[in-house]
Amino acid sequence: MFSGKTVVITGASSGLGEALAAGVAGAGGNLALLARDAEKLAAVAERCRGAGARVVDVPGDVVKAGDCERLITVALEKFSSIDHLVLNAGVSMWARFEEVEDPELFSNIMDTNYLGAVNCVRPALASLKVGGGLITAISSVQGITGVPSHTGYCASKHALQGFCDSLRIELEGTGVDVLTVLPSWVQGTDLRARAYGGKGESIGEEARGHSSSAVPLDRLVPKVLRAMRKRRRRLYVPGYLRIVPLLKALCPGLLDRIVRKKVGR
């Protein structure tokens, strides 16, 4: 499915973005990669080239619309088309609302997790329409329900989910589909270590460990790539998370208690 296709991935220098890039490279796809850390990004690009992929790496930040436009321009110059746009760049937080000292933290999270997606979709959409492409947004089950100590993160993922759901309706009949990936906690990334604390700092080594229910990267990546190939609408990982919207509608108090217990662990 990815052989000869062009896949654009943001947040590609580590974690899930890096793993998805490796998966696409192994499947014969072309890659256009963006991340803020130029050195790490170059290393990922080189590994993907070693797997036989054609790759362009573009250092940049999804918060900056100009960087996103440059990513799409470079991808089109190199490969002539864009078949997949994977919106993976993201930041998190771990602090209760009343512990946040600098409210700019909320703007920073929203700028990356929501507006960063908007900044990438805008310049890519025309090309995606030409080839009947797919937009894949790496969201979270926290885009469906709230989680304590993640007020800003949940808000940004709710915004991303609303954007994708609305965009999907607008694009009906154009050949462009929209997939949202809604995992639980994910092992094997540094998202937690880089999460904002109450003072706006990265919590680093103070990051809490993952629960036993966290999804390892080597389990998540094949599921995401398969969902992309099948052009799914939503992907919940683990699959039992499909019950979350139903619980929220029918038993919201029960869902709150479950979430509170999970986070408490």
For the stretch 152-176, pLDDT in tens is 999 999 999 999 999 999 999 999 9
Q: Determine the pLDDT at residue 187.
A: 83
4: Cβ contacts below 8 Å, ≥ 6 apart? 28, 29, 30
Burial of 18 (0-12, 13-18, 19+ CB in 10 A): buried
Residue 108 · residue 91 · CB < 8 Å: yes
Residue 200, φ and ψ in degrees, nearest 5: 85, 5
Q: Determine the pLDDT at residue 205.
A: 52
Say what the pTM is. 0.94
Residue ranges of the chain with per-residue pLDDT less than 50: 207
Q: Which domains does the chain have, with CATH numbers?
A: 6-264 (3.40.50.720)
Q: Determine the pLDDT at residue 212.
A: 58
Residue 53, φ and ψ in degrees, nearest 5: -85, 150
Residues involved in catalysis: 153
Q: Determine the pLDDT at residue 18.
A: 97
95-106 core/surface letters (b: 16 or more CB in 10 A; e: else): beeeebeeeebb
Distance CA 114, CA 105 (A): 14
Q: Determine the pLDDT at residue 200.
A: 75
